[in-house]
Structure 1
Amino acid sequence: MSFAYLAALLVSAAGVLTIDRRFRLFCWRSPGRAVAVLAAGTAFFLAWDLAGIGLGVFFHGAGRYMTGLMLAPELPVEELVFLLFLCELTMVLVLGAQRVLGRAGGAR
């Protein structure tokens, strides 16, 4: 059992949250909305994963960097953390790009 992948996800998420906090892009701009968006996005992708698992498309491959802790058959705990990270990262990138492009467009 190794926590390397889970630790890498958490460190990466902490980095994105630090940028988010510094520029007040998503979670620190509107926490209530951020929680709702993260929950909806994570639920969508989790349903997607569960459908894929049910259809036999997705499966858990044994990895030496994973904890081995499973939320459901073929669904490792790292997948849930990854989906949360993916949603947070996407929102920070989109809102950050909007802010940068908005400033660039206003400068013309």
Structure 2
Amino acid sequence: MGFAYLLALLVSLTGMVVLDRRFGLFFWRAPPAAAVVLAVGVLFFLAWDLIGISAGIFYRGETGFMTGLQITAELPVEEVFFLTFLCYLFMNALQGARMLLERRRPS
């Protein structure tokens, strides 16, 4: 069970890639810009996490669903995959909403 959460995150990330490919939302629209935006978003949230950890606000919860591997103290490896998923989900949703609004706009 130690890899269940990581596996769920990888399946979810795969779903984001499939949606992106099918509708040309983020990486399939502008790959270089998408890579930069995704990297900046993940790095921002990792910095946020590290600040929260150093302030004693964030801590790693104990569960049997996680691998137990940590990048630093209180920062599990799954957090990087979660933040990547979170940023990718937001960018797909944002671009999808833009595309829907463009379709509904009268010509």
Whether 1:24 aligns to 2:29 is no
1:105 shift after superposition: 1.4
Aligned-pair identity (%): 54
Superimposed CA distance per residue, residues 71-103 of structure 1 (whole angstroms, 9 cap, x where no aligned partner): 000000000100001000000000000000110
Aligned length: 107
Aligned to 2:15: 15
Moved over 4 A (4+): none
Q: TM-score scaled by structure 2?
A: 0.96
Rounded to whole Å, the distance in 1 between the matches of 2:70 and 2:35 is: 24
**Structure 1 partner of 2:99:** 99
RMSD of aligned Cα (Å) = 1.0
| Cα distance between partner residues in 2 of 1:42 and 1:23 | 23
Gaps of 5+ in 1: none
3-state SS in 1 of match to 2:18: helix
Q: CA–CA distance in 2 between the matches of 1:80 and 1:40?
A: 13
Q: Which amino acid aligns with 2:103?
A: R
